[in-house]
Structure 1
Amino acid sequence: MSSDHTLNMLETLKYYCDSQITQTFSTDKQQIISVCYLKNNQSFEITYTETNIKKNFRYIESAAEEIEKALRN
């Protein structure tokens, strides 16, 4: 997935923050992470599916970098 596509997807999550959309990312048909935008603290929440570890990112670029990193591993 290109970084432009990831940034566009994150912008969409932020724009529709009242809709509670969650985006799921998979590799080899296995869910790796899920991403949503939290309106109350204005951040992106990335949840690692296997460990249920959650990380919050206020900046869209930081969230995109974390997604790209997770998909590479």
Structure 2
Amino acid sequence: MSATPSGPVLNSDQAAEYCGYRGGGQVIRNLKVSDPTLPWHKRGSRLVFFPQELDEWLRDRLESRKPAVAAAGQNKKV
């Protein structure tokens, strides 16, 4: 991670809601462990997330899935 961005910060529960995940902050904390690309920062003992970084992370995740979705659609019989 590069320089810490400025602006509003979200806690785990807020980040999960912002990203559209159900299950609250636990989902984001699980993703932190399983997905090394999830952008997070520590402020004292708290995990914090910046909306602009989450936007970029979500965009990258969606972009990486497009080829797989397109390829799956080509296999459909009409």
Q: TM-score, normalization: structure 2?
A: 0.24
Compare relative contact order (CA 8 Å, sep 6+) and give the higher one, 1 or 2.
2
TM-score, L = length of structure 1: 0.25
Structure with the higher strand share, 1 or 2: 1
Larger radius of gyration: 2
